Structure 1
Amino acid sequence: MSVSEKIIVPGTNVLRRAGNTLISSEASEAEKAEAFKTLTAWRSLHTYPIDTFQKTLRRRCGELKFKDFTVAQRLKRLPSIVSKLKRYPGMNLARMQDIGGLRVILPSIQDVYRLHNDLIHINKRFSHEPKLPCDDYIQKPKPDGYRSLHQIFIYKSRDHTELDGLSIELQIRTKLQHSWATAVETLGVIEKASIKSGFGSDDHKHFFKLSSALFSIKEQTPILPELADLSPNEIALQAKEIEEKLQIFKKLKGIAITAKHIESTSNSRYAYHILRLYRSEDAWKVDVMPFSKSQEDLAKTFYASLEAQVKGDPDVDVVLVSVGDLKAIKKAYPNYFLDTNQFIKEMQSAFKKFLDA
């Protein structure tokens, strides 16, 4: 996108009508197709802001001398956007704050708060306006056990003022919190039920609440209030009983995959990658399709086309990401490689600590 290129931004009423059409049971296929075009165009506008955010985040993480960090960006998947509109019928697409998202994965809780504090208080060069207070799901985990710090920023641009006001969501989490979220998504794929969206069996959901509590204990942060009266031993025992009954670790271990059809194995000359996770002959595979920076429009067009093709298919999932080389992709999006080794290792360590003593 050149500085001189004028960007057309859909109006609030246009976005509201498109959102209402997408969740309407009475809208025609032609009306829905037109609404999807509006949504796709609106989503693609968030690419420029998250590109500039990512560069700032990488620079700040380097200057803060974190031992290890991963910065990733993504555009929210169309099915996820529509699902959110259905869950919150009064929401206008123009007010959805997480269409453009960035994630930073850091080693420790201290690192999470240090980066957040730097971005909202100390770093005067970071001109985008934070919406405070943030959503701190570390100090107050979500009811399902999810933990991370979410900060919304209102974007400001020197080159494209027409994009001013776009919301960008930044998630900052530890490696441990990331391993939990990856396991939730991966088991959801295996069970064909989005556990992170509230579906799935009660046993599975309770297991992840318990595992979240064990990880909170390790990181010395608050656990879910409903589990606060239980001792670490009781939490570990309940989790182990569910795991053994449902063979959760065996399911997770048996499905890890390696990437196929990869052109970019160790270089970072590609700016974008489309990940396509799909089931083929009772096995899961993943395609990684790289695109250069100059192919940004092609990547977005191809991504939208793939999403339209696989809409409603539980055996296919696609996402467009920008994170670096294949190694970085695997670190940032292990759920697309169904890699839950870190989660299993951490859970087995907790069982040994609290139950084998």
Structure 2
Amino acid sequence: MKKWVMPEHSNKAVQRASRTIGKGTGTPEEIQAARDVLSNYRLAHAFPLNAVTVTVRQRALDINPNAVVAERRKRLPTILDKLKRHPTMSVTTMQDLGGCRVVLDNVSEVEHLVTILRESPRAKNRVKRVYNYLREDPGPRDSGYRGVHLVYEYGASKPEYQGLRIELQVRTRLQHAWATAVETMDLFSGSELKYGKGDPAVLRFFVLVSSLMAYEEGTAPVPDADGSPAELTSELRQLEAEIGVLDRLRGYASIVGEHAKTDRRNTLTLELRRSEGHLTVTVHETLADAETRLTELEALDDDDLDAVLINIARISQLRDAYPNYFADTGRFTDFVASRTGSH
């Protein structure tokens, strides 16, 4: 029987802890106490995340038996960094402390799943908002990110979790390949392309690729990259010759280590040593064991270490769900190479 973490603090206490971290003006003891409050609040999303994932997984597999479905908790360092960048923000307003990801084959499957989830009449966990980054609602982000996000609010049987929010990302394999390549660049190089920061040429490279993928899938191109496919390809070919993004991605892929080989439903921690490019995947018998391990790793405050806790139905799908941790950008590099001749 899983032992779920319960929220131990009021929303006001969580908001105070958020401000303490955001302003960074407390004593070391106050900052540690605030981290502990935020860590509990994040881990308390595990139960509502599981509840949403169970429903989503069944609906996704009904559409495509090979759908990849995985869940993860937002990393504590990511939360703390966001609060420091936005000192007036509270984690109680973050919608993605618990996240579920579904990867499907094509846009029609993505839209079919989204329609079913939105229109489910008996769902106790309600879809509060939908962000469609494929169509005009609001359309692709300026960065080139595409996909559909649904924000759930827990409203089922356990009152202690009422109101906690879970974010579901639904992507095609091509959209997932693009997002993976961006995350891999950020993970290994320390850039922040995901947030629109970094080398302008690299940022433009990913925008061009995203628009070409959008044309391929019949969805809206990225703003400022809505020229014809031939024009976009010509610009992309020139950029790749100048900055060599594909060579960098292939280089990352050559340095990553071994991972777990068993194939049953598991709770895992992934530990990536960036400088060595070494990945350790640990299989845990219980969620509590995994959460303890993650807390230990995050307490190290090691900038070279990227640690994350993941639940997934089959470990064989781990590389499909979180390929950035394996520097697995093959689908992305194949797509770009086929357009630019950069083999």
TM range (shorter): over 0.9
Deviation of the 1:8 alpha carbon: 4.1
How far, CA to CA, are the matches of 2:239 and 2:308 in structure 1? 32
1:130 is paired with a residue whose SS is strand
Contact 2:5–2:40, Cα closer than 8 Å, also in 1 = no
Query: Which residue is equivalent to 1:130?
Result: 127
**Residue correspondence of structure 1 range 1-357 to structure 2 within 5 A:** 7-64=6-63, 66-121=64-119, 123-132=120-129, 134-139=130-135, 140-158=139-157, 160-228=158-226, 230-256=227-253, 257-260=255-258, 262=259, 264-269=260-265, 271-280=266-275, 283-292=276-285, 295-311=286-302, 313=303, 315-351=304-340
Deviation of the 1:86 alpha carbon: 3.1
Distance 1:336-1:84 versus aligned 2 partners, 3 A rule:
same
2:300 is paired with a residue whose SS is helix
1:153 is paired with a residue whose SS is strand
How far, CA to CA, are the matches of 2:337 and 2:2 in structure 1? 51
How far, CA to CA, are the matches of 1:272 and 1:197 in structure 2? 29
How far, CA to CA, are the matches of 2:223 and 2:19 in structure 1? 36
Distance 1:87-1:138 versus aligned 2 partners, 3 A rule:
farther
Distance 1:267-1:68 versus aligned 2 partners, 3 A rule:
closer
1:267 is paired with a residue whose SS is coil
Structure 2 gap ranges (5+): none
Structure 1 gap ranges (5+): none
Size of the aligned set, in residue pairs, is 338
Letter in 1 for 2:166: I
Deviation of the 1:327 alpha carbon: 1.9
TM-score by length of 1: 0.89
2:224 is paired with a residue whose SS is helix
How far, CA to CA, are the matches of 2:208 and 2:295 in structure 1? 37
Structure 1 stretch displaced more, 185-194 or 18-27: 185-194
How far, CA to CA, are the matches of 1:201 and 1:275 in structure 2? 28
Deviations 1:14-71 (Å, cap 9, x if unpaired)? 011100111223212111110110011001101111112222122112223x152100
Structure 1 stretch displaced more, 14-23 or 231-240: 231-240
Distance 1:234-1:94 versus aligned 2 partners, 3 A rule:
same
How far, CA to CA, are the matches of 1:6 and 1:20 in structure 2? 23
Deviation of the 1:110 alpha carbon: 0.6
Letter in 1 for 2:243: L
How far, CA to CA, are the matches of 1:153 and 1:286 in structure 2? 32
Q: Which 4+ residue blocks in structure 1 deviate beyond 4 angstroms?
A: none
How far, CA to CA, are the matches of 2:61 and 2:245 in structure 1? 37
Contact 1:258–1:285, Cα closer than 8 Å, also in 2 = yes
TM-score by length of 2: 0.93
Contact 1:259–1:288, Cα closer than 8 Å, also in 2 = no
Contact 1:214–1:350, Cα closer than 8 Å, also in 2 = no
Contact 2:7–2:40, Cα closer than 8 Å, also in 1 = no
Deviation of the 1:192 alpha carbon: 2.1
Letter in 2 for 1:267: D
Structure 1 stretch displaced more, 271-280 or 38-47: 271-280
Deviations 1:90-149 (Å, cap 9, x if unpaired)? 32221211101101000011111110110111x3343211113x1111110111110111
Distance 1:126-1:192 versus aligned 2 partners, 3 A rule:
same
RMSD, aligned α-carbons: 2.0
Contact 1:193–1:200, Cα closer than 8 Å, also in 2 = yes
1:144 is paired with a residue whose SS is coil
Contact 1:188–1:196, Cα closer than 8 Å, also in 2 = yes
How far, CA to CA, are the matches of 2:151 and 2:271 in structure 1? 28
Deviations 1:190-219 (Å, cap 9, x if unpaired)? 332121122221111111111111111101
Deviation of the 1:73 alpha carbon: 0.4
Contact 1:141–1:223, Cα closer than 8 Å, also in 2 = yes
Contact 1:67–1:107, Cα closer than 8 Å, also in 2 = no
How far, CA to CA, are the matches of 2:161 and 2:140 in structure 1? 32
Deviation of the 1:157 alpha carbon: 2.4
Q: Percent identity?
A: 33
Letter in 2 for 1:276: E
